[in-house]
Amino acid sequence: MLAALTSAALPSVVVAGVFPGMTHADGIDQAQVRDVTGKTYDVYASNTEAGRRKLAARVKAARALAEAREPGGLGFALDRVLGFAPGTDPKGATGDTAVMVAMHQDGVERDLNFLTLDDCAAMGTAIGAIHRLNPSFLGPAGYPAYVTGQIRAQLTSWIARLKNAGHVPPEITSSWSKIMETEGLWAFNTCMVHGGFEDGDVRFNGSTITAINNWQRMQVNDPARDLAWIFSKLDEAHRNAVLTAYGRMMGNRLDGLIMLRANLWV
């Protein structure tokens, strides 16, 4: 099935073999496909509405990054999309299945809660590199940019909605509200952010990051957004490994209250 979908999305490929991978959230299936010349491709396919939307957004972000000069020096690979069928035409070559064909990336996807201390250090370094990028290409590519006041308003509104809905104990939302009033909490510089890391976004070879994917939420925002995952995925020692490496990358740009805000973004 994936062999036929790959050929439909990228007709120049003559498939010789398919090596199934994992199934991602939103019903996105992944496989490695090898053509008759021995070249390998990473293929993602989904026939769910959520999966089609996610792949379309991922392709849009990948193409925006490919057209920009700034991400070229990050030190790890990004999606390089070679072919895409959106799956929006039931009579089309792939029917209702969205198919993304990309250049193969070395390494394996790793769940964030299984990262070693060395992996965490690599994550901190990579996030720091992302936050040092010039974000000027994001606006023309259609990605949002928020200033500090807007970010504070977003978080305030989010906490109010949680409080009114009753989904979170009132003592927790009250604690968050108090944190929001911490002196100096909002004295930070916005920057380009990935948008928040999830399992499967990062590929590793050993403890070296070979690729970071799923940039569809990239924007100019609070750098703490990209560190929120460490509170839900890591223990204190591993969180410290991320932050230490991140601090080395940021130098005097490091915001002393970033971890307090990161905890709010979880």
Task: Indicate which CATH number applies to the domain containing 160.
Answer: 3.90.1200.10
Task: Indicate which CATH number applies to the domain containing 89.
Answer: 3.30.200
Same domain? For 73 and 195 the reply is no
Span 47-57, pLDDT tens digits: 999 999 999 99
Same domain? For 101 and 197 the reply is no
Q: How many domains does the chain have?
A: 2
Residues in CB range of 137: below 8 A, 6 or more apart: 64, 67, 68, 69, 70
Count of beta carbons in the 10 Å neighbourhood of residue 228: 19
User: What range does the domain containing 256 cover?
Assistant: 112-265
How does residue 25 score in pLDDT terms, banded at 50, 70 and 90?
confident
Span 110-134, pLDDT tens digits: 999 999 999 999 999 999 999 999 9
Phi, psi of 202 (to 5 degrees): -120, 135
Span 173-193, pLDDT tens digits: 888 888 999 999 999 999 999
Same domain? For 93 and 202 the reply is no
Span 56-109, pLDDT tens digits: 999 999 999 999 988 988 999 999 999 999 999 988 999 999 999 999 999 999
Residues in CB range of 200: below 8 A, 6 or more apart: 22, 24, 25, 109, 111, 213, 214
Same domain? For 216 and 158 the reply is yes
Same domain? For 65 and 133 the reply is no
Same domain? For 58 and 14 the reply is yes
Return d(Cα 188, Cα 228) in angstroms, integer: 16
* Contact of 70 with 88, CB cutoff 8 Å: no
| Nearest of 257, 236, 229, 214 to residue 78 by alpha carbon | 214
Same domain? For 80 and 154 the reply is no
